Amino acid sequence: MKARFIILTLFVLSFCNLLLAQVSADAGKAIFTARCNACHGIGKQVVGPDLKDVENIRSEEWIINFVHSSQTVIKSGDTAAVALFSEFNKTIMPDHSDLSNGDIKNIIAYIKQESENVAKNAGPNLKIDKMPYQNTDESILHRIIFLDLPGNHVPLQLTDYVAWLAIGVAIIFLIVALITKVRFEDSKDHDGK
């Protein structure tokens, strides 16, 4: 009887331990919102890199090490870490050594869940097939010809119906205005003779 009680107790304790050790996207959301949200987005870039699908790009171990101390990973010569550091203007990510591996796994679970939500909610017009236009020429002529505005701009796609409709309406308006002006000047010439 005593042996059964001990076995049952061990089973219950191991089950409770398993439940406590399970990854929780909800816990990850709370940590992400409090600690990561200011610099990282999921499906958008903020100060640091967009974390959408990061669990497919980097290993869990790499992410944990980077979150604990990004500079340690960078200084180790890790090519991915060095590239990220350079790409984001050598902005130093603060160390989060106080987060446990479990906390970071929860954050990864939340990022995975949100990445799936972003992918589900993305419409067909949100997919960018081409690299956005980026100015590499600083001349004044380039700025005048291309109306170079700050930011990344994507060329119109055939499926951008609202933009094409607006362009069509603008062209029709210009043609009507030109015809009206010509008729007005014509009638002015006939009245003046």
Backbone Cα Rg of the chain: 29
pLDDT exceeds 50 at position 77: yes
Give me the pLDDT at residue 20, please: 44
- Which domains are assigned to the chain? 24-123 (1.10.760.10), 140-192 (no CATH)
User: Is the Cβ–Cβ distance between 49 and 84 less than 8 Å?
Assistant: yes
pLDDT band at 75 (very low <50, low <70, confident <90, very high): very high
DSSP code for 138: -
Say whether 131 sits in a helix, a strand or coil: coil
DSSP 38-93: TT--SSS-SSS---TTHHHHS-HHHHHHHHH-HHHHHHTT-HHHHHHHHHTTTPPP
What pTM did the predictor assign? 0.54
Q: Which residue has the higher pLDDT, 31 or 10?
A: 31
**Could you report the per-residue pLDDT of 136-155, keeping only the tens digit for each?**
556 666 665 555 555 555 66
